[in-house]
Protein backbone atom coordinates (compact mmCIF):
# COMPACT_ATOMS: atom_id res chain seq x y z
CA UNK A 1 0.00 0.00 0.00
CA UNK A 2 1.27 3.30 -0.90
CA UNK A 3 0.12 6.50 0.70
CA UNK A 4 0.27 9.74 -1.13
CA UNK A 5 1.07 11.82 1.96
CA UNK A 6 4.03 14.12 2.05
CA UNK A 7 6.26 13.89 5.11
CA UNK A 8 4.67 17.03 6.64
CA UNK A 9 1.15 15.70 6.18
CA UNK A 10 2.08 12.46 7.91
CA UNK A 11 3.01 14.25 11.12
CA UNK A 12 0.32 14.89 13.72
CA UNK A 13 -1.02 18.40 13.97
CA UNK A 14 1.03 20.55 16.34
CA UNK A 15 -0.44 21.10 19.75
CA UNK A 16 -1.30 24.73 20.11
CA UNK A 17 -1.52 26.39 23.45
CA UNK A 18 -4.99 27.29 24.53
CA UNK A 19 -5.98 30.87 23.84
CA UNK A 20 -8.42 30.79 26.74
CA UNK A 21 -7.31 32.53 29.85
CA UNK A 22 -8.00 31.29 33.31
CA UNK A 23 -10.94 33.12 34.87
CA UNK A 24 -9.91 35.97 37.15
CA UNK A 25 -10.18 35.41 40.88
CA UNK A 26 -13.52 36.37 42.42
CA UNK A 27 -14.02 39.66 44.22
CA UNK A 28 -14.34 39.61 47.99
CA UNK A 29 -17.79 39.82 49.58
CA UNK A 30 -19.00 43.25 50.82
CA UNK A 31 -17.83 42.74 54.42
CA UNK A 32 -14.36 41.66 53.29
CA UNK A 33 -14.26 44.50 50.78
CA UNK A 34 -15.11 47.08 53.45
CA UNK A 35 -12.35 45.76 55.73
CA UNK A 36 -9.88 45.70 52.84
CA UNK A 37 -10.83 49.24 51.79
CA UNK A 38 -10.24 50.58 55.31
CA UNK A 39 -6.96 48.71 55.60
CA UNK A 40 -5.69 50.05 52.25
CA UNK A 41 -7.01 53.62 52.73
CA UNK A 42 -9.80 53.35 50.12
CA UNK A 43 -7.23 53.29 47.26
CA UNK A 44 -8.33 51.27 44.24
CA UNK A 45 -4.92 50.14 42.90
CA UNK A 46 -3.74 48.43 46.12
CA UNK A 47 -7.15 46.83 46.64
CA UNK A 48 -7.11 45.46 43.07
CA UNK A 49 -3.59 44.11 43.60
CA UNK A 50 -4.62 42.43 46.86
CA UNK A 51 -7.54 40.82 44.97
CA UNK A 52 -5.09 39.43 42.41
CA UNK A 53 -6.30 41.65 39.55
CA UNK A 54 -4.94 44.52 37.55
CA UNK A 55 -6.75 47.79 38.16
CA UNK A 56 -8.71 47.63 34.89
CA UNK A 57 -9.94 44.07 35.53
CA UNK A 58 -10.91 45.07 39.04
CA UNK A 59 -12.92 48.04 37.75
CA UNK A 60 -14.76 45.88 35.20
CA UNK A 61 -15.53 43.06 37.62
CA UNK A 62 -16.53 45.45 40.37
CA UNK A 63 -18.98 47.31 38.17
CA UNK A 64 -20.42 44.05 36.88
CA UNK A 65 -20.91 42.65 40.41
CA UNK A 66 -21.95 45.73 42.40
CA UNK A 67 -23.50 47.90 39.68
CA UNK A 68 -21.35 50.95 40.44
CA UNK A 69 -17.75 52.06 40.28
CA UNK A 70 -15.42 51.22 43.16
CA UNK A 71 -14.95 54.93 43.92
CA UNK A 72 -18.71 55.45 44.22
CA UNK A 73 -18.98 52.37 46.42
CA UNK A 74 -16.12 53.49 48.67
CA UNK A 75 -17.55 57.03 48.93
CA UNK A 76 -20.86 55.60 50.18
CA UNK A 77 -18.98 53.33 52.54
CA UNK A 78 -17.04 56.31 53.92
CA UNK A 79 -20.26 58.29 54.40
CA UNK A 80 -21.79 55.38 56.30
CA UNK A 81 -18.70 55.04 58.49
CA UNK A 82 -18.75 58.80 59.05
CA UNK A 83 -22.37 58.62 60.25
CA UNK A 84 -21.55 55.71 62.58
CA UNK A 85 -18.57 57.60 64.00
CA UNK A 86 -20.66 60.71 64.56
CA UNK A 87 -23.29 58.68 66.44
CA UNK A 88 -20.48 57.25 68.57
CA UNK A 89 -19.38 60.81 69.45
CA UNK A 90 -16.09 60.91 67.56
CA UNK A 91 -14.62 64.24 66.50
CA UNK A 92 -14.11 65.31 62.89
CA UNK A 93 -10.35 65.01 63.38
CA UNK A 94 -10.62 61.40 64.60
CA UNK A 95 -13.00 60.48 61.78
CA UNK A 96 -10.79 62.14 59.18
CA UNK A 97 -7.85 60.05 60.32
CA UNK A 98 -9.90 56.81 60.46
CA UNK A 99 -11.39 57.34 57.01
CA UNK A 100 -8.09 58.30 55.34
CA UNK A 101 -8.77 61.98 54.68
CA UNK A 102 -5.92 64.49 54.74
CA UNK A 103 -7.51 66.48 57.55
CA UNK A 104 -10.85 67.42 59.11
CA UNK A 105 -11.53 70.16 56.54
CA UNK A 106 -11.13 67.64 53.71
CA UNK A 107 -13.63 65.38 55.49
CA UNK A 108 -16.07 68.29 55.93
CA UNK A 109 -15.77 69.21 52.26
CA UNK A 110 -16.38 65.57 51.26
CA UNK A 111 -19.49 65.30 53.45
CA UNK A 112 -20.83 68.65 52.25
CA UNK A 113 -20.27 67.68 48.60
CA UNK A 114 -22.02 64.30 48.91
CA UNK A 115 -24.77 65.02 51.41
CA UNK A 116 -25.30 68.72 50.62
CA UNK A 117 -25.09 69.53 54.34
CA UNK A 118 -22.25 70.50 56.64
CA UNK A 119 -21.26 67.83 59.16
CA UNK A 120 -21.66 70.15 62.16
Given this model, what pLDDT does residue 25 score? Answer: 82
- The ranges assigned to domains in the chain are 28-115
CA pair distance 49, 31, nearest whole angstrom: 18
Given this model, what pLDDT does residue 10 score? Answer: 55
pLDDT digits (tens, 9 = 90+) for 42-56: 999 999 999 999 999
CA pair distance 81, 58, nearest whole angstrom: 23
Q: Domain spanning 28-115: which superfamily? A: Homeodomain-like (1.10.10.60)
Closest CA to 93 of 81, 108, 78: 108
Res. 1: pLDDT tops 80: no
Given this model, what pLDDT does residue 89 score? Answer: 96
Amino acid sequence: MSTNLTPCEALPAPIRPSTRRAPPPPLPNPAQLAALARLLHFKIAPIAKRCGLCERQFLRQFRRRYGRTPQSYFNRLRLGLFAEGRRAGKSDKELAQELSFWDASHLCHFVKHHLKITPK
